[in-house]
Structure 1
Amino acid sequence: MLNEIKKDAQTRMAKSVEAFRHDLTKVRTGRASTALVEHLKVNYYGSDMPLSQVASVAVTDARSLTITPWEKQMVSAVEKAILASDLGLTPNTAGTVIRINLPALTEERRKELSKHVHAGGEDAKVAIRNIRRDANHQVKELLKDKQITEDDVRRTEDEIQKLTDSAIKDVDEVVKAKEQELLAV
């Protein structure tokens, strides 16, 4: 029973770290990345679809992306989605191909993005601590039902704390790596 609680907590903490890592792919750094625009919603015949499902997105060089919609009439819808996004990018259309040039990040924008990364890291840590709280609550419920002893509770809470510390350390490493990537000129 206690092993199941610990495994569940460990799995959920790992998923939180992975979700945070995935969210950071959407943060713009100095290099072009398809993850920057793939999540944008495009109006496709009345329903909103992710850009990656209506067009192919490719990195042409370190500072530019190429988007090729699969249908010619989708070019204007894709342009509108890019302009409406909060990315601050301007699409250049040549026939059915849309090119996006990524300007170099200013020092001020880099610091702003760094703060955003830190805030996301704190949110991930809060999620991990909530998982710890839930696991500890489940353990205390078992004690209340007299299924385990107080020694088991203390030992399990220590092990859950070690899992929490490990997951928080992983989040800190992800934040540090992304920050270095952002601040590299």
Structure 2
Amino acid sequence: MAQSFSVDELKTRMHKTIASLRDELGGLRTGRASASLLEPVTVDAYGSKMPLNQVATVSVPEPRMLSVQVWDRSMAGAVDKAIRNSGLGLNPMTEGAVIRVPLPELNEERRRELSKVAHNYAEQARVAVRHIRRDGMDLLKKLEKDGIMGQDEARGLGDKVQKVTDDAVSEIDAVVAAKEQEIMQV
């Protein structure tokens, strides 16, 4: 069976990479509280590790405070421990089934560290986009070599792949620049 080539399929894969980058950056702590900050936290609940959002509701009552409403009151201790051990530098306060998580001010050094982490995430996304581009170009070369596609058609599609790649990389740059500005904002 002959393989087919689709620029749209490559574009979709690149957009998924960018969406993944946005999710990763959403978990980075900035000066403002965000419910997505606690998404990577997993809780030892009922004999297994579960995402925090499967045992509690996270809300943002104030700009520098998260509120975690635990559904099963007996899980409050485990949720508190999971947040403390998450590596996010947070110090939760438990009040019954509600856990308040104040967000401390970020100092300049911590802001720079977070900015570097954001740039690492962006570089990983750029590499993923380049891999997708390489896959597309390899398929074009194979189709041309096998005589399924003419040289001119392959070149034209190759140019489209390059344009889609350039667009994706510039979108990644814009996303990380916006996140960096948010991190550095005092």
TM-score normalised by length of structure 2: 0.96
Aligned residues: 185
Percent identity (aligned): 47
Deviation at 1:3, TM superposition (A): 7.9
Shift of 1:152: 1.4
* 1:80-118 alpha-carbon deviations (Å, 9 max, x no partner): 101111101111111221111000100000011001101
Q: After superposition, give the CA deviation of every residue in 1:1-52 in whole Å (9 maximum; x if it has no partner).
A: 9984211111101111111011111000000011011331111110111111
Equivalent in the alignment of 2:120: 119
Contact 1:2-1:139 at 8 Å conserved across structures? no
Which position in structure 2 is the counterpart of 1:23?
Answer: 24
Q: Give the match for residue 66 of structure 2.
A: 65
Q: What corresponds to 2:13 in structure 1?
A: 12
**Structure 2 CA distance for partners of 1:182 and 1:3, relative to 1, 3 Å:** farther
CA RMSD of aligned residues (A): 1.4
Letter in 2 for 1:82: I
5+ residue gaps in structure 2? none
Does the 8 A contact of 1:38 with 1:52 survive in 2? Answer: yes
The normalised TM-score by structure 1 is 0.96
Gapped regions of structure 1 (runs ≥ 5): none
**C-alpha distance 182-62 of structure 1, shift in aligned 2 (>3 A):** same
Name the residue aligned to 1:89.
90
CA contact (8 A) 1:5 1:138 kept: no
In structure 1, distance between residues paired with 2:39 and 2:17: 21
What are the within-5 Å matches in structure 2 for residues 16-165 of structure 1?
16-165=17-166
> In 2, distance between residues paired with 1:111 and 1:174?
17
